[in-house]
Structure 1
């Protein structure tokens, strides 16, 4: 087991530490001495568990970590936009997954105390392969919030167990079998908590519920609430079915996923706003994109061009 401690009131030193020990970050807060950062990291093969206490506000812009990155908020607020370009705000008690391992993400931390747990995506794939229902191939998470409150609570307990009873106990942390089992337990808890590509095989009830009426209810909810921070679990609840039944309904009838459909609807709304806007009033592509949950200008421009055949600023300036 490896343990790392950091304590500093210098923002530049903090930025350098985070960039070296996480991924390249840009932190903006106005002054170089704006508050204190306390960080403790405990690590075992394939998993790191960090406790961070920042008594100042900071923005971050993170390059892809190539890790599953979980966040448990103890105090304060974290505003992140990285999973499907959708911004969401997390507060005390929330447990979420940040951006997919291969994507960058951005956000802002407001005087927060929180836990960051990172694990190798390959660990999810190995654990999922044990389940006979699992689809073959690498596992990807399909949403950033757990599918239920009970799943979130169990994942929080699992993270705390790994932190306190494995990494926090030198004797246990020195036992390879205990460490390996704890890592697999954590991966299994992540798979149970978040919708993912491995365990989406519907039950008989799910198949029965995945009819066109389910799809209509889900699509109507997405259309009505596309401007809000929607999760797969919320869409499923609005359609009165399980998350798996919802995913199966979209796959069966539209050959897509609920989040992919939500992104398409938001892109259509952004396109309509760009088309109808008056550029002389000061409206911008970035502002319209952000209104519909697209907080990464480069990714929005690429998606827009791939869909509509021209850059978004052409739509705005050629009305």
Structure 2
């Protein structure tokens, strides 16, 4: 069993980087890192980039210190961007999506060129190679044309789906198995691929498909995790106990605890808390809650000091700071 890591600033950028530079060096580095040709307009400023590469899946932290526009040839895989700070915009297939801190955007579908702009951003990106996407498609719909997934939207299908995606990446980016555990690496890639397809609307997983097949109902498998995170998505606003979650997933509480520890390195309760913290932040950002106390109560945080401390550990700021920035 892997030890659980504290919730300390999981979405913050690391202090050391594999690359730091500007100008043409930064331009060439980004092209090499993401396997595409970028046509830049404007100065990149200082670029800092760190990658953790797990073959089929790669996690990146990236800061870009200026505003510039770009056009890109198609990438070899799929890239999901979680915006930590700043603003960005992507356009592909005549669809433009914009993101700011706390948002998640899918850069482009397979074999799809795109263009956009970034403005002094800090980003976390998750890159899937073609095989990882194809394996996820085949696992969910065996007779679907391999690797031919088409997305009808490039933003999460709901606020809770986005929060669930970010919580899953928080855990897997920290606990992704190493090369000494090829089975564990395969299961982690499989879980993340399924989460990708369940987050962004596409022609593989319909919006009404709950991904709750009867297989693996007895065991602590990725299928159990998929059922659990879907229940969390649907009922994050409720008083959802471990027993309630286990019952909805048709497993025992002990099996559910083991499944989360095995595949995500955390407990169901800590995962649910992280999703609720993400939703609280979205509510503070978009003005749907008028005070920190209101948003805390809305998402089941009844100890103001604990809520503020947990929020700061995850987002590097207090809830009152997020609210103040949104009301300027």
Using structure 2 for the length normalisation, give the TM-score: 0.54
The residue matched to 2:38 in structure 1 has which SS? Answer: coil
Q: Which of 136, 150, 166 matches 2:144? A: 136
Structure 1 residue 45: Cα displacement: 2.1
* Residue matched to 2:9: none
Q: Which of 47, 56, 75 matches 1:65? A: 75
Aligned residues: CA RMSD? 2.3
* Residue matched to 2:129: 120
CA contact (8 A) 1:52 1:114 kept: yes
The answer to whether 1:51 aligns with 2:57 is no
The residue matched to 2:197 in structure 1 has which SS? Answer: helix
After superposition, residues 88-99 of structure 1 pair within 5 angstroms as 88-99=97-108
The answer to whether 1:27 aligns with 2:40 is yes
Which structure would you say has the larger RCO, counting Cα contacts within 8 Å and 6 or more residues apart? 2
* Residue matched to 1:194: 200
* Residue matched to 1:290: none
* Residue matched to 2:181: 175
The separation in 2 between residues aligned to 1:50 and 1:131, in whole angstroms, is 27
The separation in 1 between residues aligned to 2:20 and 2:208, in whole angstroms, is 48
The answer to whether 1:149 aligns with 2:159 is yes
Q: Which of 6, 24, 35 matches 1:12? A: 24
The residue matched to 1:130 in structure 2 has which SS? Answer: helix
Q: Which of 156, 160, 167 matches 2:170? A: 160
How many equivalent pairs are there?
191
The answer for unaligned runs of 5 or more in structure 1 is 204-319
The separation in 2 between residues aligned to 1:154 and 1:202, in whole angstroms, is 17
Deviations 1:256-304 (A, max 9, x none): xxxxxxxxxxxxxxxxxxxxxxxxxxxxxxxxxxxxxxxxxxxxxxxxx
Structure 1 residue 101: Cα displacement: 1.6
Structure 1 residue 40: Cα displacement: 0.3
The residue matched to 1:26 in structure 2 has which SS? Answer: strand
The answer for unaligned runs of 5 or more in structure 2 is 1-15, 210-328
The separation in 2 between residues aligned to 1:104 and 1:39, in whole angstroms, is 23
Using structure 1 for the length normalisation, give the TM-score: 0.55
Q: Which of 105, 110, 115 matches 1:101? A: 110
Give the 3 Å change call, closer, same or farther, for CA 130–100 of structure 1 in structure 2: closer
The structure where helix makes up a greater share of residues is 1
The answer to whether 1:111 aligns with 2:120 is yes
